[in-house]
Structure 1
Amino acid sequence: MRKFRITVEGTAYEVTVEELDAPAGASAVAAPRPPAAMPAAPTPAAPAAVSAPAPQNAPAAPAGPGDVVSPLAGTVQKVEVAVGAAVTEGQPLVTLEAMKMLTSVPAPRPGTVTEIRVQPGTAVQEGQVLVVLG
């Protein structure tokens, strides 16, 4: 058994791991101990010298009345419309991929596409504006 400390999102955990492929002649393993389930005291993070820039794919502002937003975080696979196109309610506008599943984002109402804010390959967050309908 070997003991390790791992840190997940700033919280340190101590874990005990059994080596299954231990080399021959390795020392005998002591009586099994229960794994450490309680998190160790969090280690304070050093203050950053420079603040990190905002993610490029984060929405810039709350969605407006004509904005069609992403229902989930994922990657844009296909933009199904062009600026100036008239769309009907339910018509697919953008196809997203998340966890190897494709999700079609439909038009919530009829209208005309006035702006497309993403392109194939763009990583998007839930709530990010994809298309603007006029």
Structure 2
Amino acid sequence: MEALALPSSPTATRFEAKLPTGVESHANLDMYLPLANGMVVGVESKFTEWLRGKVTREGEAFRPPYFERGRRRWEAVGLPQAQALATALQEGRETFKHIGAPQLLKHALALARQHGERWVLRYVYFDWPGPKGEMSSPRNPTLL
């Protein structure tokens, strides 16, 4: 729990927690921690998946219902910068190679829908030594 820098102690732990996104799918959080202070922490963890690298093509970041009829789902739950990033990913104006940004944005959407502003999302991964690890380390976050 110390490694996650939690602002309070967890009162429970749920693994593989499914939270509704408001679309016909759910965000599947690796861990869901309600805290004693009323906040909730969502955790997405990766072991070595990020080492493979994957670029999302234009129009493939999110399924069409996320943007149907001009809906601005992230903005509607108080996440305007997440909305801007989701739109840029969907339109192919933004890409990430070593982090699943669409997945994390779906997690943020689900957490904000359920908990308003009383949540935190943590991303945990295994830091692999070598060239790929150096390229995408926290010391060089622009390449994530």
- Mark the structure with the bigger radius of gyration: 1
Q: Could you say which structure has the higher strand fraction?
A: 1
Higher RCO, Cα 8 Å, sep 6+ = 2
- Indicate the TM-score class for this superposition, using the shorter chain for normalisation: under 0.3
Q: TM-score, normalised by structure 1?
A: 0.22
